[in-house]
Structure 1
Amino acid sequence: MSDHAAYIAEAAESLRPLLEQVRAQLSASLPDADEVMKYNMPGFQVRGSIVAGYAAFSRQCGLYLSPGAITALADDIAAAGLKASKTGVTFSARKPIPDDLVRQLAQASRTDLGV
């Protein structure tokens, strides 16, 4: 897969709008980041560090960030009714991730990584 648009186009139709929205929010939050593909997943890279990535699965999507970003915003993630792992937040069409939370997570990840 060569780029983000191709990745999104190959995702399940019901998940494409979610992926487009997350991509747009990450792009706006990290204007100096390069869009890259790493580990078959679209991501945003700043000075050699992947600040954020996202992926589609069969019924949900994931947003992947630094562990410090997840920890720093754990209360906001829970308040949005979303589940988080050490490095990711899962969301779906039934429970989308709020735009402002995507932006906050991207900035927190960048700060955590020092880029």
Structure 2
Amino acid sequence: MEDFRYKEYTEEESKIYHDAMDRIMEALQRGMSFYDACGAADVGDEELKRFIEDDALKIMIADMHYKKGVSLEETAGVLKVPVEIISKANAEMLEDISISTADVFKAANPDAQCGNA
């Protein structure tokens, strides 16, 4: 498993991130497809744009699938994204959660055994 790290944003990147995320979410609320909504957020830095799009997709999956109980297939249809991409993003999101949870546990319990039972 590769090392997992969150992207650390500069103050300027953070502003761009939040502005772009707001524009994407507003466009999705107006019924735009996911990719069209992402296109509405003009981000010049391609790496930052990929992080924003990745986060936005995972936020929508969390909201629609886990919060509202919409199936992954229906989520894909609403967002107009292939179900394979939704499934991959969902798996990545669950892996992110697993790694983050383990990191928090290790930090809170430095002397506890963690790993193979």
Band of TM-score, shorter chain: under 0.3
Structure with greater proportional helix content: 2
TM-score (norm 1): 0.25
Q: Pick the structure with greater CA Rg.
A: 2
TM-score (norm 2): 0.25
Structure with greater proportional strand content: 1
Structure scoring higher RCO (CA < 8 A, sep ≥ 6) equals 1
